[in-house]
Amino acid sequence: MAADPLPPFPPGFLWGASTSAHQIEGAADLRERSVWDVFEARPGSIADGSTAAVACDSFHRHREDVELLAGLGLDAYRFSVSWPRVDSPGGLDHYDRLVDDLLAAGVRPVPTLFHWDLPAALDWRERDTAARFAAYVERVAARLGDRVRTWITVNEPAEHTFLGHALGVHAPGHRMLFEALPVAHHQLLAHGLAVRALRAAGAADVGIAVSHAPTWPVSERKEDLAAADFYDVLMNRAFSDPLLLGRYPEGVAELMPDGAEADLEIVSERLDWYGVNYYAPSLVGAPTGGPSAYGTLDVPPEMPFSVHEIEGRPRTDFGWPVVPEGLTEVLTGLRDRYADRLPPLMVTENGCSYPGLDDQDRIAYLDAHLRALHRALEAGVDVRGYFVWSLLDNFEWAEGYRQRFGLVHVDFDSPERTRTPKASYAWLRDQLRDCLRAQR
C-alpha cells in the first residue's frame, strides 16, 4: 500500500466516483430495450456469455451504493441516466429517488445523459437521433433540474463510434470502418443540442466526458510519425477540435456527412468544463500488413496505422499499460493546444481492472495517477475534480463480468449482489479524510 500521503489539492477540488446505468442497474424488465440488450443476445458477443439484465442490481439496491459513497467521503457521484428506462412508464422515478438520496447523504449528483445505452429503436447513423436526444434531455432536466447542478451530456463519443460502429466489438455491432464517422458527428450534434436544452432549463454547470490518450509514434520514421499523427487526429482531435474550436481537423473534416460544417456552431456550444477520461497512451506506427492489438482489442490490418504494446510497464488485468505520466501529458497538452478556448478540466474517469479484495495494485495505480494529476496542477492546468472509475465491479461491456474496476467487490453469484469494500476503498477513504479534506 502507498504509505505517503497525497500532496494537497486546491480548496474546492471535487472528488467523486463514476458508474453507468447499463453496467450496474439491472432491472432490465422495467425498461425498454437498448442496443446493448440486442447485442448481448447475439452468441459470442460477450466474452463470458453474460448479460447486464441484473448486473449489480443497483436499481433495487441504490441506497447501499449511496451509503458506500458517503462512507468514502466523496463529494460527488457520476452516474448515468438510462434513456431506455426514461422511455418506460415511471422510468424517471428511479432517478428522482437516487438524486434525493444522494443529496440527503451530502453527495452531489452528476448525471451523464448518454453512456452508450441507446434505445434499440434508434440509430446514431441517423441525424434525427440527435434531435430525439435533445427531446429526451428536456424531459430529464424538467424532472431533475430543480436539484441537479452538474450535468454531463455524452460519454466517450469516440469509443462508441469506433468500438460500436467501426469495428463492431461493442453494441450495436456494426463494422463500418471509416464510414462510421457520421456517428461521431451525430453524437457531437446531440451534445450541442443537449447543452442548449439544459441551458434553457436553467442549468449552469454543463460538461462532456471525452476520452483522451497521448499518441506516441513507435519510431521516428516518417511513415510511423504520419500514422501516429493520423491516429491522434482520429481518436483525439476529431472530437476536441469541433467541441473547443468549432472545426474538424484536416483529414477528418472530409469524411463527415454533408451539412456537418453548418452544425459546428451547435457542436461548439460553450462548456462550463471539459471532462477527460484517461486510461493509457497509444503507441502507433505505420500499417504492418497484418492485425495489431491493444489489450483485448484487435485492430484490422486495413487500417492506415498499427497499434503496438508499450513495453516495460506493469499491466492491468485488461492488458493496458500503467503510464501515470500520460495523464499529466494529456492535461498539459489540452492546455497548450486550446489555450484560452479551453474551459476548466475535470478528470471524469480514471481507473484500472484488478482482481481480489486486497487490491494493492489498484492502490498503487490510483496513487500514481493522482500524483500525476497534481503535477498538471503544479504546471498551471486548471483541473477542478477527479472521478475514479469505478465505485463498483460491474458489467464491463463486451468483457462481461471478467474485468473488475470497482473500489467495491460485487458478488455476481449471489442473489443479493453482495457488496464488499476492497483495500482500495479504505485507502481512498483515508486519503480523502486525512490529506484532502484539510484543504477545504
Q: What is the pLDDT of residue 435?
A: 65
Does the active-site annotation cover 156?
Answer: yes
Alpha helical stretches, state H, 288-359: 325-338
- Per-residue cell: 286: 505505420
CA distance to 59, 153, 253, per residue, from 314 (Å): 36, 34, 37
**Where in the sequence is the domain holding 340, given as residue range(s)?**
14-232+269-281+318-439
Average pLDDT taken over every residue of the chain: 96
Domain annotation covers residue 243? no
Cell 438520496 appears where?
A: 101
Domain annotation covers residue 291? no
Angle at which helix 360-378 crosses helix 423-431, to 10 degrees, equals 30
Domain annotation covers residue 254? no
Domain annotation covers residue 169? yes
Catalytic one among 25, 40, 64, 156?
A: 156
Q: What is the pLDDT of residue 290?
A: 81
- Per-residue cell: 362: 489498484
Q: What is the pLDDT of residue 299?
A: 87
The letter for the amino acid at 166 is A
Q: What is the pLDDT of residue 44?
A: 97
The answer to whether 297 and 169 have CB atoms below 8 angstroms apart is: yes
Domain annotation covers residue 332? yes
Domain annotation covers residue 392? yes
Q: What is the pLDDT of residue 291?
A: 76
- Per-residue cell: 173: 455491432
Q: What is the pLDDT of residue 440?
A: 53
Q: How many domains does the chain have?
A: 1
Residue-wise pLDDT for 352-370, tens only, equals 999 999 999 999 999 999 9
Regions in the chain scoring below 70 on pLDDT: 1-3, 435-440
Q: What is the pLDDT of residue 439?
A: 56
Domain annotation covers residue 140? yes
> Strand, coil or helix: what is 121?
coil
What end-to-end distance do the CA atoms of the chain give, in Å? 26
Distance CA 30, CA 76 (A): 27
CA nearest neighbour of 183 among 238, 132, 125 = 125
Whichever domain contains 78, its CATH number is 3.20.20.80
Catalytic one among 64, 349, 396, 399?
A: 349
Residue-wise pLDDT for 198-225, tens only, equals 999 999 999 999 999 999 999 999 999 9
In Å, how far from its chain's centre is CA 305?
A: 24
CA nearest neighbour of 344 among 372, 383, 392 = 383
Domain annotation covers residue 90? yes
Q: Within a 10 A sphere around the Cβ of 69, how many other Cβ atoms?
A: 23
pTM: 0.97
